[in-house]
Structure 1
Amino acid sequence: MENKSHIVASFDRDLEAIQALIMKMGGLVEEAIVDATTALETRDEDLALKVRKGDRAIDEMEERLNEEAALVLALRQPTAGDLRTVLTVFRLAASLERIGDYAKNMAKRAGVIMQMQQIDGSGAGLRRMARQVELMLKDALDAYIQRDPDLAADVRERDLEVDQMYSALFREYLTFMMEDPRNITACMHLHFMAKNIERMGDHVTTIAEQVIYLVTGDYPDDEREKGDRSSHDLGVEED
């Protein structure tokens, strides 16, 4: 019994360390989202470069999390609910890494847009959309820490707002392009930045669904409604 208690205590300590890494990685990703949109709005090349360089730290943290989780699997041989907990780490780390990649892509495009004539008001909608995703990510990570499936379900539903924001921005950029052909190149970059944010929302939704699975043992069985069809209908996509 004493040996079993020791194993349980060791496993708990391992999970606490991994959980701390997840939250640290999440914090870096949240910062990257904010900095990428701020760089565009303030035309701050140094900040855009910081986001691009900072993505390496996010990638390294994913690698470390995967190594730590794999070590737990090998040494502790968790069963049932504990195994589900460890597997969740792999999936959360992967989703966070992808969100970080999208923030890096945004920073790259922001750097290009800074060399062009500014389109008045073009960054405000992106900032609002990015803020929505940032708040969703914060709540999704809180849901993970608190093992709160209701908060996770709320995050999942809020992704519809992100899709709707994306559709509105898509139409706005089309208007800018039709009004002045000189805006076409910049608006295409802005559109793909908006698409990056929309994809971030999808990955945050995946995190929320993983939390629901972690707590309940089941994934949501209803198909989440998508509010974005604009670029899909026109054949415009970016991965």
Structure 2
Amino acid sequence: MDITSDIHSQHISRQFNHELEELKTHLMAMGGLVEKQVQDAVNSLLDADSSLAERVVDNDRAVNDMQIKIDDECTRVLARRQPAASDLRLVLAVIRAASDLERIGDEASKIARNAIELIENDSGSRGFVEVRIISEHVRRMMRDSLTSFARFDTDLALQIVEEDQKVDSEYQSAMRSLMTFMMEDARSISPVLGIMWILRALERVGDHANNLAEYVVYLVKGLDIRHTNPDDLDEEVGDR
């Protein structure tokens, strides 16, 4: 969907329309890179591929550079165009979303660094099932959150907010299982702690994907749902 349709009216300046579209395009590109970072970080662990993990760590600079570029573009739009209403919300949502994507990139680097250590220590595969399940869940949330942003789809955004609760539940269940295993076998403490840090990073990826979904609701509805009870979301958003 073109950002000038439905939500955003056509502007006198076609260049302004182009600048807004560029912001959105660059954010989607950053999202694609970050999504690949998470996927590669997890795969490096599951496949015992240290070189892939090292590439994830090295590519974190590219993610940071993309955030800086997007922030600079947003600053120029704010200074030159002084946007109001829905246009201003779009620029602010892009700034916030880029910050969350950068933090997802940081979490991917954490996963990769822990993967390198686990691989070097030949730590076995305890916890890999949990990592695979939760990583698939949060990566799906990331894809859907980017899709909802691209399409201004609040229905999909609200589904992502609900999915974040399921990820939190999966994370807590996995942590309990791994804690039990450590208590039963003291030799497993060090490698299992590494897996726990990876699971924590994945849970944080889900939180940031949830934030992206919340920005979509803010962009489309002008409604801040960050502190709204999930059970009340459909009714509150539907009233706007």
* TM-score with structure 2 setting the length: 0.88
Structure 2 letter corresponding to 1:184:
I
Contact 1:119/1:183 (<8 A) preserved: no
- CA deviation after TM superposition for structure 1 residue 7, in Å: 4.2
Write the distance in 2 (CA, Å) between the matches of 1:224 and 1:183. 38
Task: Establish whether residue 142 from structure 1 lines up as the match of residue 147 from structure 2.
Answer: yes
- CA deviation after TM superposition for structure 1 residue 120, in Å: 3.4
CA deviations on 1:50-88 (whole Å, 9 max, x unpaired) are: 110111110000000000011111111111111111111
In the TM superposition, 1:103-114 aligns within 5 A as 103-114=108-119
Contact 2:126/2:192 (<8 A) preserved: no
CA deviations on 1:98-127 (whole Å, 9 max, x unpaired) are: 011001011001111112243335212112
Structure 2 letter corresponding to 1:222:
T
Write the distance in 2 (CA, Å) between the matches of 1:120 and 1:6. 56
Write the distance in 2 (CA, Å) between the matches of 1:141 and 1:120. 32
Contact 2:11/2:17 (<8 A) preserved: no
Task: Establish whether residue 174 from structure 1 lines up as the match of residue 179 from structure 2.
Answer: yes
- CA deviation after TM superposition for structure 1 residue 178, in Å: 1.9
Other-structure match for 1:78: 83
Structure 1 letter corresponding to 2:132:
R
Q: For residues 37 and 6 of structure 1, do their structure 2 counterparts lie closer, same or farther at Cα, with a shift above 3 Å needed?
A: closer
The match for 1:222 among 201, 205, 228 is 228
In the TM superposition, 1:80-95 aligns within 5 A as 80-95=85-100
- CA deviation after TM superposition for structure 1 residue 95, in Å: 0.4
Task: Establish whether residue 17 from structure 1 lines up as the match of residue 39 from structure 2.
Answer: no
Other-structure match for 2:7: none
Write the distance in 2 (CA, Å) between the matches of 1:205 and 1:6. 31
- CA deviation after TM superposition for structure 1 residue 207, in Å: 0.7
Contact 2:45/2:115 (<8 A) preserved: yes
- CA deviation after TM superposition for structure 1 residue 8, in Å: 3.4
In the TM superposition, 1:54-133 aligns within 5 A as 54-133=59-138
In structure 1, the gaps of 5 or more residues are: 226-239
Other-structure match for 1:233: none
Structure 2 letter corresponding to 1:22:
L
In the TM superposition, 1:154-233 aligns within 5 A as 154-220=159-225, 222-224=228-230
Other-structure match for 2:3: none
In structure 2, the gaps of 5 or more residues are: 1-9, 232-240
Instruction: Give the alignment's Cα RMSD to 1 decimal.
Output: 1.5
- CA deviation after TM superposition for structure 1 residue 192, in Å: 1.1
Write the distance in 2 (CA, Å) between the matches of 1:160 and 1:190. 21
CA deviations on 1:136-189 (whole Å, 9 max, x unpaired) are: 111111111111111100011100111111112101211221222111011111
Write the distance in 1 (CA, Å) between the matches of 2:177 and 2:37. 25
Number of aligned residue pairs: give it: 221
* TM-score with structure 1 setting the length: 0.88
